[in-house]
Structures are given as C-alpha cells and as structure tokens.
Structure 1
C-alpha cells in the first residue's frame, strides 16, 4: 500500500498544473495566422470607413475610345438621395389669417431675369400680406439684358395666381381708376428685411393709398420670419406662380419627348452665356478678341457696378461658371456614360460650337430646345427670353438629374423647387475645388482616368441634393453684410416648407 501523504499529493498536483511547452513550429503558425487575420479585419473596416466612393469602382474603357473612368451603378448615378420621409408642407397653421387690404394698394415693378422676378414676386405676396395691402399684378422688367416685352399674363397664369392666393392676400389686375393719378409713395424696401421693418412701413398708409415698390428682389430676410410667412412664400412660388397654359403645355410636351428618346436625362444649366461671362469677368479659355468684347460690354452696361475684374482671381475663387470642356470632364469623372442625354437649359452659348465642341466630344447626345421642338412650336416664344427660360425651368425641374454650371438665380430656384418636390437629385459642382483639379490636369499632375474619377466622386458625395437645413451666414461676417452670405430661402426651403414625421431624425 502506497503512502499518499500531503507532500506526495502536492507534488502530483503541481505537475498537473504546470503548462506544457508548445513546439516552436506550432507557435510560429499560430502567430502568423493571428497577424493575417488581424490585417484582413483591418482592411475590411478600412474599406467600409472610406466608402465614400460609389461601388463597384471598376476601371472600364469607353466605347468611344476615351480614357478609362470609374464605372458607377445606375442607381447611384440617377436615383434621388434618401429623403428620410420628408415631404412638402406649405399649408398655413391654424392661427393664420389672410389679409384683406381694402383701400390700400401695393404696386410692384419686378426686376431681373425670369427667376429673379419669380422669387421677387413671391416676396411681394408676403409683404402685401404683412402690410395688409391689396397687391396689384406686378409689372415685369423690360430693361434687363434680354429686353423682354412680356407682360405678367404672357409668362404666368394670371387667373390662377389671383384665385390660388385669395385666402392669403387680395390681388387685382390693375389699380382702380380713381387711384391711377393719386400721389403714391415710391419705395426701395430695404434688402433682407423682417416683420418689424414692414410693420414700420405701415406708417406710409397714413399719407398714401398706394405704395409703389421699385424693385422686388430679395426684399425679405431668408431666416427669422414667422412660419406662416415662410409658407406663404412657398405657396406663392411653387403653387400660385404657375406658368401660362401655352408654356406649361409645351414644356410638358418637351419633357415627354426627352423621355421617349432615351428615358433618363440630365438637365445642364450651362451658364456659359455672353452676359454671365461679361458680368463675372470670366475669360478663361477665351481668345483675346472675345475677352475684349466682354470687357467692352461690361463697361457699357450702366447698372453693372464692377467694371475692372481680375479674371484669374475670379476663377480661382470659384466665381466663374464652368466651361463646356470642364463640364464634360466633370460629368465623365462622376461616372455618367458618354451616351447620356444632356438637355442644355440655357440661352445662346458664347462662341457657339467652338466652345461646345469639347463637351460634345465627350457627350455627343446634347439636346437643345431648337432640336427638341419644332420651329412652329417655338415661334411664339422666340423673341421672349423669359418665356423660353420658363421652358428650360420646367424641363430642369422634371429632369432626373439637374446640374448647374454656376450658382445663379435659375440654379438656386430650380434646386429649391426640386428639394420641395422630394429632394430630386441636384449635383452642385464644387467650382473652387474643381479649378484646382483642372489646373493640375493642365500641368500633367492629373489626367482623365480612374484617379481623377475617384477624386471627383469623393468630393461630390455630399453635393447631390440630400436633405439638410438651410445654411446661415458665414462666421465672422458682421452687420447687414451677413445677410448676403446666407443661403437663399428659395434655394432650400427646409425646414419651414418641408416636413417629416416627428419620429424621423432631424437633418442638420
């Protein structure tokens, strides 16, 4: 019989608990396997973190023999951004009361091109409401660059405008005969003014029955206005200011023709027109003779205050419209195939085919009003720039993708309308950033191909019209100058005119 005393038992237990030494080969295999697995996990997460570029990103050669680009899925190219359940909401609140305005009249002379006048008229509807005045159908600008002789009823459905706003403000076609010759207050209402300012302006009713507003654009603040005033602006612009029946009919017919030709299309607001280039002083890519022609035009246009402009500074600051060539490079880099239908929403392109050729070389299917409509259909509109601009507006709002080459009145108005209608896809080029890219292409640091595509796609991932609140003024800007740096209410009417379920998260 063996003695199993405490000492022997302890030694046996110690032997059982002593770790076994692994052979060196197995240890190396375990270590290498752990490193490989860890590195694979790291690459997987890195790929997801840097997932800004559309998938799949495959290098392909275009059929036309152009340089390789990055292929993008159709849904990523064409589908609107996720709208988080947001929807239009322009109805007044329960506390809202319409204005009557009997005995007090507000007459208006709208200034600028089509969309400058449209947004100005919407402002004046809200001003008439705040001042409890009857609004006289506005007079349209006939002295702008286009010298369009159109009257209100030529461009807008006048009866619809009056009837649709009758619960908001009283509107008449003209002043009563007994008031046509009475003295009237002539006012340039202060830019970007709020309710308190227009309450103060009511004192004019003590001495006058008629107030004439010499300019209508930007007479209301973008922000800090009552909810019902903001929604009234939306009802006026998006619902009441419907285009005249001939314009609406032809506009919808042209959209149908675009759809029948190839289904989806881009509406490109190619603001490469003589007036824009002259006004901004942008001469990049032009001949000396063309640059001189634009300078003379700018100096001879009295209401353009800035005469001497540094074209290089304008371009590097991102203040110039993209050239047709730059637009072609941009769209191709985004992944749009060369077969894409592109409707040119613009007037006459400066330099014609000479400057358009480098866009058409990349995207041959360029479509203009003149090629989409018959001469007979366009005949009634041909000498009226605002009416043809209205056709462009309809086609742009209804497009699958809207791309503005410059952030002017048309671009802002179309973007805001598309946001209101459900955040339809609008790609806003980062012109300042793109200039840096184009300059690198000139020096040979970048070429058209996958690297360029990857860079452009990444930098424009968040510039495609997704829901967000309207931007306020730029930091550090003081006084009234800050209003000029705010994002336009009509460019982004969220949150006042775009609502969602309370359960949905807030978009900032």
Structure 2
C-alpha cells in the first residue's frame, strides 16, 4: 500500500477513536465531557473531589460526598458551585479557547490533507489516462480494470475472490513481481529485450517470390476445397491446396470456408482476402477459377466418389498419397472435393518447387481486404501513440493504409513508439483440450468436462479407455498453456517496464476479467482491439471471429516484439513465421520453453526474485536462437530454408 494510503488510513483510525470517546457521554446525559474530566481530578483546598456525577445504578438521586469538615452537601449543590467557579475562572476560559482553537486547527488540517490526497490521486489517474491520448486527438480506450487507483498489493489480494475459486499458487512471486516493477520504473530495460540478439538473423532474406519453371495448365480436372477451423487453419489449408493443385496439374476452384459451431463465423474467402490479387499473383504457378464450369455443377459428387473428407486423407499425407489415390479420381470424374481439408500435406519430403509455392502463397498471395487493412492500420497507429514512423512490416500487412496521413509530417522520419503484442492462448477450447488444471477447483473440473463432452467427444472416450497423464504431469512436461498469472511473471522477469504498452490478442479469456487481474494490474497499459476501436469502428467486424482474428494478426505481426504463451498455437506460429520472413532480423519473438518455466514456477515458495529473473531470461534467450527450419517442421512457422528464404552468408561463402 502506498504511503499516502497508509497515512490516510491512520488518520481515519484516529478520527474514529475520537468519535467513540465523544459518544461515551451523549448530549442528553446532562454532563459535558469537559466537566466530567475535571470531576476526576484530585481535590484542591477550594474544590470538592467527586468520583462520578451519577451513581452506579444510573438513578438520578443526589449522592453525598464527604469533605474535610465531615459535613455533607448534595451533588446538585456541589455541581452548581463547581460550574459557577468554572464559568468565572479566567484561566479556564483562556484554556477553553485554546482547546477550541486547537480542535478547529486539527479539523481544518485534516480536511486539507484529505483534499490534497484526493487531488493527487486524481492527477495520477489523469496522467495515466492522458498517456493514452494521441497527439492527433484520437484517444486510447484502456481496460476499465486498469483505471483503478488502488495499490498493486490490494489488487493482488482480490485475486481468486470471484465466483470461481482460484488457487493463488503464485501469490508470493506476484508480490515480488509487483515490488520489482514498482522499483524498476526508472531503470533501463535489458539491452536485448526489444531486439534480436543474433546479428546473423539479418542474413536471411525473402526469396519465395522467385519463380522457375512453367505454369501448370490444370488439365487434369478441378480441385474444390472446403477448409475447416478458424482463420489460421484455413490459411494453412489454402496454401496446401495450392500446392496439391500444382502437384496434380489441376485447376483450383477458389477455396470455401466451412461454418464451425466453435468459431460461428460465416465469412468466406472474399470477406477476408483479396480474390483478384490471389488469382493473379499465382497465375504463373497454377490456374485458379471462381466457380466450377457449368457442365460440372450438376454432378452428384458424393455419388461419384469425388468427395474426399479429412478422414479419408491421413494427417501430414505425403505427395505420393495424392498421386496414388487422388489423381485417379480426377482422371475419372474430373472433380475432387476436399471437405474439411486442413493440415493434410506433409512438411517433408516435398519437392523444392512445391515447398516454395507454399511459401509464395502464404507470404505473398494472401492479402487482407481493404476493410481489414484499414482497421488494422488504425490499430497499429494507436498502439504507436499516433507517431508517424512506419513499422518494418506495415506495408506488407496493410498496404496503402500504411502511409502516414498526418498533415505536415509526411516527409519527416518520426520515431515510433514501441509496443509489445501478447497472444494469450487461454480460451476455453484450449483450456479444456489440454486436460490441465488451472486452480479453479471442483467447479472448474465439472465445467471443463461438460465442455469436452460437447466439443471433444473423442477426447472424453479416450479418457475412459486409457489412463492419461495427470494434470501435474502434463504441467511438468510443459504441455499446459501458460496461465495469465504465469505470463505476467514471465514478462516482469524479462524486464518489461510497468509502463510498457501491451496489445493483448485473442478471443474471450477463460475466467474473464478476474483471471486477467494480475496482468492488468501489474501492466496497466494493456489494451485489446475492443479498447482501441470505437463501437462504430469495430461494428463491421462484430460476430465475425475470423475477421477479428485477422485484426489481431496484423497488430501482433507489426509489433516491435511479439510474445506467445503456447508455441503450438497456429496463430502464434503464423505470426512468428511472418515476422521472420519480412523482419530482416529486427522483429524478435518470445517463445517460452514451458517445460523449463514449469520447473521454475514450482519453486514459488522458495526462489528469490533475482534468481527467478536470471532463470526465466536464460530459458527465453535459448529459444531466440537463429536456426534453419528443422526437417519435418512447418515452412509457415520456420521459413528459414532455401525454399522460402535465401541465406546471404551461405551465398557469399559459396
């Protein structure tokens, strides 16, 4: 608790004590408090010494007091005489005035202190809010939870007090993180925090746009694709379909997107990507049409065996599978319809020209529609506090909207404000599928099990048939997504300032605001697209989760640094790959090793903060190494390979 809060509480405590003392003699008792205190004083030659103005029984009968002569006088006479002496005693009159003046002074001082206290708090709150206001008149809309003026400690104490019980296993480390952030606001961040630590990352340059060979004529028939999943799975499916069409010398019909009860988005290809650019850019590679020829539209594809589901195609199928099983269907029926087509093409072994085509599709052919580009550019601009400096990837992400529109500053190179983008993969589908526990107790277990029965029935059956690892074992192996509490500890340990601007990507976080309390309290400048855009600006994307995810993709990819919490996330993989491909070694990405972090977090009760910082930084730094794509790994995530990028060091050495 801040010093001002502590002083304020102490003063209020003293003030309450004074009120309790005054209430011992209410106004209707007939005895002023000052009189009662003087009655308790020892006697003098000219005054009597009563012990109490009333008897112990509380009756109003006079009590007789003994005096030196042995005579008895009534308490009424005594009191009247005493009051007469008091009223005409000049010394007591002067003392009373001094006490009245003193009380008045204390009251005025207390009122002034309280006024100054609230004024300071108001100024601090205004400065936090003003830091988000742009120079061009556009305002930041921070999370409401971040506007609180209560101390970090008070907020941390509230964690876990919601409807759902939360296991605050990191309370000690969170308190240490809060202390470290408060102390480090004026310290410099670690030198390599906002940059790639390895200079050889810049030796890799994009080259998937280079073509060799003749285009495919698409003579063997038509391939239709209905991709499932969210926008990220659909993006991978489209690029894989392009490669398969080239492999089979087939014509690709513009892909369609399957409606999902999980994503609940009716968006189609042309709602997200530029159709004409996609078709024209890939024209030298494959033939693409928007619809089937009319003579083939009436075919019953299911009856002819032309419908191929994801069940019919093994995951990570090799090119030989398509040549052996799919090409004969094309020759026979002229059409093949892949339904639920997703990650159905292996990463290796794939011919060089097909691998390069996949990269060309992902990094060059797929561009967002102007509506998404414009909103994405607005988000980037506001995250950078409306500075006019352009980011390294802006042109690739938002096209013409990357140009500065600030009058009089178009030709001036301005330094842009930095921001961190964070993808917190902690939606209920991820949490439920992981089979891990997150401190919610029995209520959480019942809720997640009910969700699995509806959305992951195969996983429920597997649990019944086979003994699976316990939640503790899964966590120790790094198979659980990082909780928001773990994420904030990681960011604090890496050295990010409390004032760092953070963009939070993702859909609805499981647990809601209470789950985000630690993150929003320790890093108050954390915002989402819903905070940055006005209701009118975000309305065109409402109820379209894929289009909203496209906005997140743009802001995360353009960020000065991107942090993921789950390396298996398709979204994080695509963002990281895009940053590698176009980043020129200047777009760092934080990929936590969850297995190592789990081993660090488990020492919450004993580890000291300095040691915690050192171990976290070491674990994250090791995952920043620059290396070529491992065999069998996705080219969309690891584009550093000869099919996608050219290594200038190898070129010079060769």
TM exceeding 0.5: yes
Contact 1:61 1:67 in 2 (8 A): no
**C-alpha separation between the residues in 2 aligned to 1:502 and 1:272?**
40
Q: Does 1:412 align with 2:528?
A: no
**Structure 1 residues 67 and 317, CA gap change in structure 2 (3 angstroms):** farther
* Deviation, structure 1 residue 451: 1.3
**Structure 1 residues 451 and 269, CA gap change in structure 2 (3 angstroms):** same
Q: 1:418-497, aligned counterparts within 5 Å?
A: 418-421=579-582, 422-423=584-585, 424-441=587-604, 444-447=605-608, 449-464=609-624, 466-472=625-631, 486-495=632-641, 496-497=643-644
* Deviation, structure 1 residue 84: 4.3
* Deviation, structure 1 residue 223: 2.2
Q: Does 1:208 align with 2:333?
A: yes
**C-alpha separation between the residues in 1 aligned to 2:341 and 2:445?**
32
Match of 1:298 in 2: 452
Q: Does 1:154 align with 2:265?
A: no
**C-alpha separation between the residues in 1 aligned to 2:287 and 2:460?**
40
Match of 1:333 in 2: 493
* Deviation, structure 1 residue 68: 6.9
- Pick the aligned partner of 2:346 from 194, 200, 221: 221
Match of 1:99 in 2: 216
Q: Does 1:198 align with 2:322?
A: yes
Contact 1:318 1:435 in 2 (8 A): yes
Contact 2:229 2:263 in 1 (8 A): no
Q: Kindly provide the CA deviation profile for residues 286-312 of structure 1, in whole angstroms up to 9, marking residues without a partner as x.
A: 243233111100112256535536322
Contact 1:265 1:340 in 2 (8 A): yes
- Pick the aligned partner of 2:203 from 85, 90, 93: 85
SS at 1:207 equivalent:
helix
Contact 1:109 1:215 in 2 (8 A): yes
**C-alpha separation between the residues in 2 aligned to 1:105 and 1:61?**
58
* Deviation, structure 1 residue 71: 6.4
SS at 1:461 equivalent:
helix
Match of 1:281 in 2: 435
Give the helix-richer structure, 1 or 2.
2
* Deviation, structure 1 residue 122: 0.3
Contact 1:70 1:453 in 2 (8 A): no
Q: Does 1:320 align with 2:477?
A: no
SS at 1:339 equivalent:
coil
Normalising by the residue count of structure 2, what TM-score does the alignment of the two structures yield? Answer: 0.62
SS at 1:440 equivalent:
coil
Q: Kindly provide the CA deviation profile for residues 423-471 of structure 1, in whole angstroms up to 9, marking residues without a partner as x.
A: 4211101111111111111xx2214x2111111112221212x431122
- Pick the aligned partner of 2:553 from 364, 387, 393: 393
The farther-off stretch of 101-110 and 394-403 is 101-110
Which entry has the higher C-alpha Rg, 1 or 2?
2
**C-alpha separation between the residues in 2 aligned to 1:413 and 1:303?**
28
Contact 1:271 1:405 in 2 (8 A): yes
**Structure 1 residues 203 and 70, CA gap change in structure 2 (3 angstroms):** farther
Could you list the runs of 5+ residues in structure 2 that have no partner in the other structure? 1-175, 387-415
**Structure 1 residues 68 and 451, CA gap change in structure 2 (3 angstroms):** farther
**Structure 1 residues 67 and 73, CA gap change in structure 2 (3 angstroms):** closer
- Pick the aligned partner of 2:425 from 271, 294, 302: 271
Could you list the runs of 5+ residues in structure 1 that have no partner in the other structure? 1-59, 473-485
Q: Does 1:181 align with 2:298?
A: yes
**C-alpha separation between the residues in 2 aligned to 1:460 and 1:141?**
37
Superposed CA RMSD: 2.4
Q: Kindly provide the CA deviation profile for residues 8-59 of structure 1, in whole angstroms up to 9, marking residues without a partner as x.
A: xxxxxxxxxxxxxxxxxxxxxxxxxxxxxxxxxxxxxxxxxxxxxxxxxxxx
**C-alpha separation between the residues in 2 aligned to 1:367 and 1:405?**
17
**C-alpha separation between the residues in 2 aligned to 1:230 and 1:278?**
34
SS at 1:118 equivalent:
helix
- Pick the aligned partner of 2:226 from 93, 109, 116: 109
SS at 1:267 equivalent:
strand
**Structure 1 residues 103 and 231, CA gap change in structure 2 (3 angstroms):** closer
Contact 1:186 1:212 in 2 (8 A): yes
Contact 1:101 1:169 in 2 (8 A): yes
Q: Kindly provide the CA deviation profile for residues 157-184 of structure 1, in whole angstroms up to 9, marking residues without a partner as x.
A: 1121111111111111111222112243
SS at 2:203 equivalent:
coil
